[in-house]
Structure 1
Amino acid sequence: MVSRDPARPEGMDAPDRRQLLHWAGVGLAVLVGSRTVGAQDEDEPETEENGQEEENGQEEDEGDEEPATGEAITVDLVDYAYEPGTDSPLEIPPGTLVEFVWITDNHNIVVDDQPDEAGWDGYEPIEDTGFEYEFTFETEGQYDFHCTPHIGLGMVGTIVVDPEATVGDGDGALPEIVPEPAITLLVATIVALVAVMTLVYLFLKYGSDPQG
């Protein structure tokens, strides 16, 4: 007499091993395939949008020959440093407006060295908290300067004007390390694996005939 497995619902026949494995493979293929197609579909609008933006950009370049407006960056004068500029050189593209802001008292900007074609005079009068001075750096090269009252404390600065340099985007966004389609495919693979594991579990639990 064959005893019935109490864990198997009454009236449920043992599923065929090959059929169960067949449907497991089909389910995996369908899940991965649908997610991959979805990821590709997400890429297509972005590609088309980028193409439209490039075309619009070319049209704007052809119709607008005015030079681009320079960007701006702030350098704080504190005790006892130019931030940025002292710990490491401040690298900016030509045409950048640098705004020097006195955060603490008793500072100035004395130019030590600059490119021959440049005409930066710095700002030698000593000023206190709240004072501001700005200058647009157009000539490529390195600019070295110091604060007279605090040069002995290491308050020196360097600005490098380089056409390859960029000013921060200012939005605080992190670069995209992993493309979104790759993440979508990874999620789809995990879901498919979970589905297969579930089918394997059901097969092991209900798919073999109990011995009695």
Structure 2
Amino acid sequence: MKRRDFIRNAGGATAALGAGASATAGTAAAQEGGGVQPDFGGYIDGAQGGDYQDLRGESEVTVDVGGGGSGLAFLPTGMWIDAGTTVTFEWSSGGHNVLFEETPSEASVSGHEAIEGEGFSFQITFDAGGIYKYYCEPHQQQGMLGAIAVGEDVPTVDTSNEPKELHELGAPIQAHWVGSATVLAIIVSIIFTFYVLKYGESANTGTGRR
């Protein structure tokens, strides 16, 4: 086996893998990172669940109360809807309620104060435009928070340059798995290159014995 050939081929394979991973991540960020979202004033930053959905154009939507792996999330955690949209709050686990902490001044909505169990639901039609912030009283300190933007006349933020976590991109994997998989792929590539050069059919890449 020629040492220089091995180093050149292994290095090339490693660089190609690294470039491919970077390109894939960059493309995903470019595709998913853009757009404008309602400005919830940081209310749901760090909240359980943490997902956001633009549901304008839908006349009826559902909020999962007590969803997520922890059972302490409103899903979606933040959303944008049209005025007149009916939202169904549907309990997927017990021990929760829905109380509004902030609503537009002209809004006449109220949450559900009683603690309810799995299968319970109630509806609110959001007619007044603006930002609505709500929480589950027993689990507020654990981050069970939600927010709803209604109508077009709401404060917004440009999210086009914000990095996205893998779960926000819809990938059901953890970030450290990507790094581990990349390292493993590089190691496999180096081993493959070594054996191709050492035991390949070419007379120039073998050990020199016949």
| TM-score relative to the length of structure 2 | 0.43
Q: Greater share of helix residues, 1 or 2?
A: 1
Instruction: Name which one, 1 or 2, has greater alpha-carbon Rg.
Output: 1
Structure with the higher fraction of residues in strand conformation: 2
